[in-house]
């Protein structure tokens, strides 16, 4: 019989480990476990972060069960961000404005704190790429879900003019009403109006591997030559939308930067360390894609 060498674990989990995870439906695309467990090892934290596939009809029960089981909190991804907003007992200012939550913290006093870090993470990823966010610049957002709400609010906070388009017009209208100053375009006509905008952001799951339309690739022929095209999808790293933008010579921003920057807030709340987003962090997550 061949005896295999024993490799010592890179991280020891004890009975005092801090636990967190990511809830979504689906959730297998998420690289949050790769990112957070890398930070846990890097900073020597006794903890673990796990994927938690949760169907919409079981979301509230799952959250309460995780809290009862001693979890410190969870990240929230599609399609639960608005449900998480309704479930939270306490909301930060960004979550109140966006009416969406992507991070839940289970506090010691028994209350659930809801944070919206998508918008600040998205803006940080743009700034890391040295892309200026000039006041009065016009941005077109595809989608009207939780991520769109957070991104739209963050861009407005920097003085940008935001227009929303969504496959279901009613959801775009509701979002625009919640964020005064935003406009709405019908989904059928936004490609013809691209020349009016300096920034295009896909906040939907269109183009995501395993999503509803992984080949999503609208026409960008009417885009201005200085347009920035951003996609919050990061699996694949280069979505069909970003590939089309590159072929047209437009500047692009992938979704990985947003993932990395928005994650810092939850990690600090759950594990007590403010992690650094550096080249080593990015390379580690890139290697998993």
Residues contacting 59, CB < 8 A, separation 6+: 23, 80, 83, 84, 87
Q: Annotated catalytic residue: which of 16, 81, 111, 161?
A: 81
Residue 84 has φ and ψ, to the nearest 5°, of -65, -35
Residues contacting 162, CB < 8 A, separation 6+: 138, 139, 141, 152, 155, 156, 179, 181, 182, 183
Contact between residue 133 and residue 126 where contact means Cβ atoms under 8 Å apart: yes
Residue 81 is a catalytic residue:
yes
Quote the CA–CA distance of 186 and 190 in Å, as a whole number. 7
Residues forming the active site:
81
């Amino acid at each position: 019989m061949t005896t295999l060498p024993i490799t010592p674990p890179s991280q020891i989990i004890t009975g005092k480990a801090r636990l967190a995870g990511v809830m979504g439906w689906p959730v297998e695309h998420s690289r949050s476990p790769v990112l957070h467990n890398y930070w846990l090892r890097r900073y020597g934290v006794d903890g673990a972060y796990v994927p938690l596939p949760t169907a919409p009809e079981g979301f509230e029960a799952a959250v309460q069960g995780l809290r009862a089981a001693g979890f410190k909190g969870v990240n929230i991804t599609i399609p639960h961000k608005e449900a998480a907003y309704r479930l939270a007992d306490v909301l930060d200012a960004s979550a109140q404005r966006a009416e969406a939550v992507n991070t839940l913290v289970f506090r010691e006093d028994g209350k659930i704190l809801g944070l919206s870090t998508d918008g600040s993470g998205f803006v940080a990823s743009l700034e890391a790429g040295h892309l200026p966010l000039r006041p009065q610049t016009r941005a077109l957002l595809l989608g009207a879900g939780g991520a769109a709400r957070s991104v739209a609010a963050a861009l407005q906070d920097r003085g940008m003019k935001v227009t929303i388009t969504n496959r279901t017009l009613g959801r775009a209208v509701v979002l625009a009403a919640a964020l005064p100053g935003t406009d709405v375009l019908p989904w059928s006509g936004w490609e013809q109006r691209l020349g009016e905008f300096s920034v295009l952001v896909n906040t939907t799951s269109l183009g995501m591997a395993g999503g509803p339309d992984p080949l999503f690739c609208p026409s960008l022929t009417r885009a201005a030559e200085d347009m920035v095209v951003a996609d919050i999808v990061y699996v694949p790293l280069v979505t069909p939308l970003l590939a089309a933008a590159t072929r047209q010579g437009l500047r692009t921003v992938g979704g990985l930067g947003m993932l990395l920057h928005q994650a810092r807030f939850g990690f600090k709340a759950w594990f007590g360390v403010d992690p650094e987003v550096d080249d080593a962090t990015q390379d580690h997550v890139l290697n998993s894609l």
